[in-house]
Amino acid sequence: MNIIEIKNLKFTYDNKEVILDDVSLEIKKGSYTTIIGHNGSGKSTLARLIAGLLDKSGGDIWVNGLLLKEENLKHIRKEIGIVFQNPDNQFIGSSVKDDIAFGLENKCINPKEMDDIIFKYASRVGMENFLDKEPHLLSGGQKQRVAIASVLAINPSIIIFDEATSMLDPKGKKEIKDLIKNLHKDSDKTIISITHDIEEAYHSDYIYVLNKGKIFKKGKPNEIFNNSKELNNIKLDVPFNVKIKEELEKNKIKIESYNSVEEIVENLCRLKLKN
Amino acid sequence: MPIEIEKLNFIYAKDMPFEYTALKDIDLKLQDNKFYALIGKTGSGKSTLIQHLNALLIGSSGKIKVNNFEIYTDKKNKNLKNLRKEVGVVFQFSEQQLFEETVLKDVMFGPLNFKVSESEAKAKAIKYLKLVGIDEKLFEKSPFELSGGQKRKVAIAGILALEPQILVLDEPTAGLDPESAKEILEIFFSLNKTIILVTHDFDLVYSYADEVIFLDNGNLITKRETVDFFTDDELISKYQLELPSLLNFQNKLSEKGFSFTKKHKNLKDLIKEVIYE
């Protein structure tokens, strides 16, 4: 079942600059979809349109069977949570607890239940020991984890990560990527991640590649990354294991599987023994 | 313009409850026209250190010499402007510093501040905007109308237009798509200046940097040749550093009995040796 369906979506700034041009896509319920593309390809605009934060110029978006329009907006927003790029721009509360509570208050949750809910979701992201901490005492990765807890507390069926790891250091990046992976594994939430991280995309279920406001390619990771030239042409890179595979091919060596560096090394060993 | 740092200490909020020593007895000598990578965890002191190089921060004690220009930690410094012309710093998310009405004016702002004539400033702005790959069509646009990657390039052109001999770059490619990141690095690499690059991207360090400067918790742990650094197993495991992808691949091959004449800095050469050894 598709939880999101988009048909012929168009978005222009001031009727001049075309940002998204005739974009159609489907996202399966419970899947982990990544959207990749160079800077300015329209990735973030697409995310904002799905969440109803921007008004489309044409086309239609369905979220969970509901057409995205003014009277459905309230319902649709309940289905969608977004984690943005900059950890400092989305911390609203004066402590971790307040920050998670903010969304719950807006949902008119009974204050008696609130503490339990907050604890539950703070634990989900490993921040239960930081509930009274102020934001400036947290690292970027920790702030993003709180942002994720705040989103989870609202219990949306879809979570959009809009370059949520790009401002973090490697440790923070890994924390958040692992958290996203676990969320995908342990819950039925639909995850959409807009990212420059090719390795992250490589491990997702399905990839949409955007270029100049159009869908350039879509498919499973191995289908997307089988041609680095094509991706390089639109300013994208391929994962390191694919690079090795291609460099070997240039030297007329074909290996059967290349899902990880380890696999490639084993393949090369076998080839070496044969000779 | 060699840089010499001796026993540099920096204490944030001295004599306050939150007093914190960010740099501890740093001794560092950097040579001309080399490409240095400055690495370390968040909070290790990298950003604090680079702000000392053009005297945006003044140490609590110690000595810094940039060429013949000495930055004093014990008395008032004069003529810092001369120093700042020689040491250009590109900060993290530098696009947030754009402010002028047009792209061209934004890049001209720096040179004009250093008393360069209007026409010369314009010529420099055009030269460096072109160098970073900004199309002439964009020169008269507002910088705020550009995409994130373009903005970053404009901000970098603004620093290059000062023609500093030393370029300090704090995560200049963070948040950029891989291709834009590569373009920008190739530009820096081609400049023939002293470059100090703050980054978390070890793949990039491995292929570009001559030497690695490694900070941890305000201490300078080591400064040495890049391959030397990443092949020091003890150091790598002690600080739980991740290996560059290329080196990791080569190590795994070595473990399985492949032999190599050297550590390769690009995949092409590595594969050649694997196949034709």
Contact at CB, A268 and B176, closer than 8 angstroms: no
Distances (CA, A) of A112 to A101, A116, A121: 12, 8, 16
Mean pLDDT for A3-28 is 92
Contact between A244 and A255 (Cβ < 8 Å) = no
CB atoms near residue B99 (< 10 Å): 10
Q: Is B96 on the interface with A (CB under 8 A)?
A: no
User: From A232, which residue of chain B is nearest by alpha-carbon distance?
Assistant: B179
Residues of B in contact with A172 (CB under 8 A): 42
Q: Which domain holds residue B42?
A: 33-58+67-241
Residues of B in contact with A198 (CB under 8 A): 178
CB atoms near residue B206 (< 10 Å): 24
- A169 band by pLDDT with thresholds 50, 70 and 90: confident
User: Does the pLDDT value for residue A227 go beyond 90?
Assistant: no
Q: Is A125 on the interface with B (CB under 8 A)?
A: no
Q: Is B33 on the interface with A (CB under 8 A)?
A: no
Q: Which segment of A209-213, B194-198, B235-239, B273-277 scores lowest on mean pLDDT?
A: B273-277
Residues of A in contact with B249 (CB under 8 A): 240, 244, 261, 264-265
Q: In a mutagenesis test of the B interface, which of A39, A85, A174, A234 is the best target, namely the one with the most B β-carbons within 10 Å?
A: A39
- A188 band by pLDDT with thresholds 50, 70 and 90: very high
Contact between A158 and A63 (Cβ < 8 Å) = yes
Q: In a mutagenesis test of the B interface, which of A265, A271, A274 is the best target, namely the one with the most B β-carbons within 10 Å?
A: A265
The mean pLDDT value of chain B amounts to 91
- pLDDT value at residue B50: 95
For the beta sheet containing B87-90, the strands, ordered from the edge strand earlier in sequence to the opposite edge, are B87-90, B166-170, B194-198, B35-39, B211-216, B219-225
Task: Please name every residue paired with A83 in a beta bridge, in sequence order, or none if there are none.
Answer: A161
Burial classification of residue A209, based on how many CB atoms lie within 10 Å of its CB (0-12 exposed, 13-18 middle, 19 or more buried) = buried
Q: In a mutagenesis test of the B interface, which of A142, A169, A237, A250 is the best target, namely the one with the most B β-carbons within 10 Å?
A: A169
CA A265 from centroid of its chain's CA atoms:
31
pLDDT digits (tens, 9 = 90+) for A61-83: 999 999 999 999 989 999 999 99
Q: Is B178 on the interface with A (CB under 8 A)?
A: yes
- pLDDT value at residue B1: 65
Strand-strand pairing, B35-39 and B211-216: parallel
Q: In a mutagenesis test of the A interface, which of B18, B41, B42 is the best target, namely the one with the most A β-carbons within 10 Å?
A: B42
Mean pLDDT for A210-229 is 92
Strand-strand pairing, B87-90 and B69-71: unpaired
Of A40, A236, A251, the CB nearest to B271: A251
User: Does the pLDDT value for residue A196 go beyond 70?
Assistant: yes
Q: CA of B96 to nearest chain A CA: how many angstroms apart?
A: 13
User: Does the pLDDT value for residue A87 go beyond 90?
Assistant: no
- pLDDT value at residue A108: 84
- Residues B219 and B137 reside in one and the same domain: yes
Q: First and final CA of chain B: distance in angstroms?
A: 43
Mean pLDDT for A217-237 is 90
Contact at CB, B253 and A268, closer than 8 angstroms: yes
User: Does the pLDDT value for residue B103 go beyond 90?
Assistant: yes
pLDDT digits (tens, 9 = 90+) for B17-71: 878 899 999 999 999 999 999 999 888 899 999 999 999 999 999 999 998 889 9
- pLDDT value at residue B96: 85
Q: CA of A120 to nearest chain B CA: how many angstroms apart?
A: 28
User: From B39, which residue of chain A is nearest by alpha-carbon distance?
Assistant: A169
Q: CA of A28 to nearest chain B CA: how many angstroms apart?
A: 27
Does a structural domain hold residue B23? Answer: no
Residues of B in contact with A196 (CB under 8 A): 175-178
Q: Name the residue type at position A18.
A: V
- Here the contacts of A200-204 (C-beta below 8 Å, separation 24 or greater) are A200/A34, A200/A165, A201/A34, A201/A36, A202/A239, A204/A32, A204/A33, A204/A34
CATH code for the domain of B73: 3.40.50.300
- pLDDT value at residue A149: 93
Residues of A in contact with B179 (CB under 8 A): 38, 232, 235-237
Does a structural domain hold residue B172? Answer: yes
Q: Is A38 on the interface with B (CB under 8 A)?
A: yes
Q: SS3 sequence, chain B?
A: CCEEEEEEEEEECCCCCCCEEEEEEEEEEECCCCEEEEECCCCCCHHHHHHHHCCCCCCCEEEEEECCEEECCCCCCCCHHHHHHHEEEECCCHHHHCCCCCHHHHHHHHHHHCCCCHHHHHHHHHHHHHHCCCCHHHCCCCHHHCCHHHHHHHHHHHHHCCCCCEEEEECCCCCCCHHHHHHHHHHHHHCCCEEEEECCCHHHHHHHCCEEEEEECCEEEEEEEHHHHHCCHHHHHHCCCCCCHHHHHHHHHHHCCCCCCCCCCCHHHHHHHHHHC
Does a structural domain hold residue B11? Answer: no
- Residues B162 and B208 reside in one and the same domain: yes
Residues of A in contact with B147 (CB under 8 A): 39-40
Of A236, A253, A261, the CB nearest to B179: A236
- pLDDT value at residue A275: 66
- A39 band by pLDDT with thresholds 50, 70 and 90: confident
pLDDT digits (tens, 9 = 90+) for A91-118: 888 899 999 999 888 888 888 899 999 9
Contact between B4 and B53 (Cβ < 8 Å) = no
Q: Is B144 on the interface with A (CB under 8 A)?
A: no
Q: Is A236 on the interface with B (CB under 8 A)?
A: yes
- Residues B181 and B258 reside in one and the same domain: no
**Structural tokens at position B92:** 């993290």
Task: Please name every residue paired with A26 in a beta bridge, in sequence order, or none if there are none.
Answer: A5
- Residues B46 and B155 reside in one and the same domain: yes
- pLDDT value at residue B117: 95
**For helices A240-250 and A261-274, angle between their N-to-C axes, nearest 10 degrees:** 30
CB atoms near residue A43 (< 10 Å): 25
Residue A211's nearest CA partner among A65, A75, A23 is A23
- Residues B145 and B263 reside in one and the same domain: no
Number of compact structural domains in chain B? 2
Strand-strand pairing, A58-63 and A2-13: antiparallel
Contact between A11 and A54 (Cβ < 8 Å) = yes
Contact at CB, A85 and B257, closer than 8 angstroms: no
Distances (CA, A) of A241 to A155, A237, A261, B176: 37, 12, 6, 22
Does a structural domain hold residue B113? Answer: yes
Question: CA dihedral defined by A25, A29, A30, A32, rounded to 10 degrees?
Answer: 0
- pLDDT value at residue A58: 94
Mean pLDDT for B226-244 is 95
- Residues B82 and B203 reside in one and the same domain: yes
CB atoms near residue A31 (< 10 Å): 18
CATH superfamily of A2-237: P-loop containing nucleotide triphosphate hydrolases (3.40.50.300)
Q: SS3 sequence, A195-242?
A: CCCHHHHHCCCEEEEEECCEEEEEECHHHHCCCHHHHHHCCCCCCHHH
- Residues B130 and B250 reside in one and the same domain: no
pLDDT digits (tens, 9 = 90+) for B209-231: 999 999 999 999 999 999 999 99
Residues of A in contact with B148 (CB under 8 A): 39-40
- Residues B190 and B256 reside in one and the same domain: no
- Residues B257 and B224 reside in one and the same domain: no
Q: Is B41 on the interface with A (CB under 8 A)?
A: yes
Mean pLDDT for A223-227 is 89
Of A40, A172, A251, the CB nearest to B147: A40
Does a structural domain hold residue B132? Answer: yes
- Residues B90 and B197 reside in one and the same domain: yes
- Residues B237 and B147 reside in one and the same domain: yes
pLDDT digits (tens, 9 = 90+) for B132-171: 989 999 999 999 888 778 899 999 999 999 999 999 999 8
Contact at CB, A240 and B175, closer than 8 angstroms: no
Contact at CB, A39 and B148, closer than 8 angstroms: yes
Q: Which segment of B125-129, B152-156, B177-181, B251-255 scores lowest on mean pLDDT?
A: B177-181
CA A246-A252-A256 angle, to 5 degrees, is 65
User: What is the residue extent of each domain of chain A?
Assistant: 2-237, 239-275
- Residues B151 and B268 reside in one and the same domain: no
d(CA A191, CA A183): 8
In percent, how much of chain A has pLDDT > 90? 63
Q: Name the residue type at position A60.
A: D
